[in-house]
């Protein structure tokens, strides 16, 4: 079955830039999206269609794509950004939804 691969954890100091990669063979063909989940809360979309930002999401969140890897970038990380982040796309045929395993962002 199709998989999206993310690092389990990323750590950055406040004010630095955090980059969270997600790799998958079908990513050049199908959009990727990113969700932020804080403890005890439902996920919230922070980037969709590789690089679009939903209304209400701070400008420090951005997304990019290169080949089979997409990357969520958080510039000027703040303490409130500490959360789990998940990428999501679909399989090569576009039928099955897949989430990456998630990356825990720690703000030191």
Partner 1 sequence: QVQLVESGGGLVKPGGSLRLSCAASGFTFGDYYMSWIRQAPGKGLEWISYMNSSGGIIYYIDSVKGRFTISRDNAKNSLYLQMNNLRADDTAVYYCARFGDYHDYWGQGTPVTVSS
Residue 50 within binding range of partner 1, rule CB under 8 A? no
Taking CB under 8 A as the criterion, the residue among 7, 23, 31, 75 binding partner 1 is 31
Tell me how far apart the alpha carbons of residues 71 and 78 are, in angstroms, rounded to a whole number. 18
Tally of CA atoms within 13 A in the half-sphere of 27 that contains its CB: 25
Site string for partner 1, 56-85 (x = CB under 8 A): ----------------------------x-
Shortest distance (Å) from residue 15 CB to partner 1: 28
DSSP per position, 24-69: -TTTTTS--EEEEE-TTS--EEEEBTTTB--TTS-TTEEEEEETTE
Give contact residues for partner 1 (rule: CB under 8 A). Answer: 1, 31, 33, 35, 37, 42-45, 48-49, 54, 84, 86, 88, 95-102
């Amino acid at each position: 079955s199709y998989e999206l691969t993310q690092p389990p954890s990323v750590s950055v100091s406040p004010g630095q830039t955090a980059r969270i990669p997600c790799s998958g063979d079908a990513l050049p063909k199908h959009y990727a999206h990113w969700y932020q989940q804080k403890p005890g809360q439902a996920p919230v979309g922070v980037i969709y269609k590789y690089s679009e930002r939903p209304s209400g999401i701070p400008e420090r969140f951005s997304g990019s794509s290169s080949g089979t890897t997409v990357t969520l970038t958080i510039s000027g990380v703040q303490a409130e950004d500490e959360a789990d982040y998940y990428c999501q796309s679909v399989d090569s045929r576009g039928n099955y939804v897949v989430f990456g395993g998630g990356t825990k962002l720690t703000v030191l």
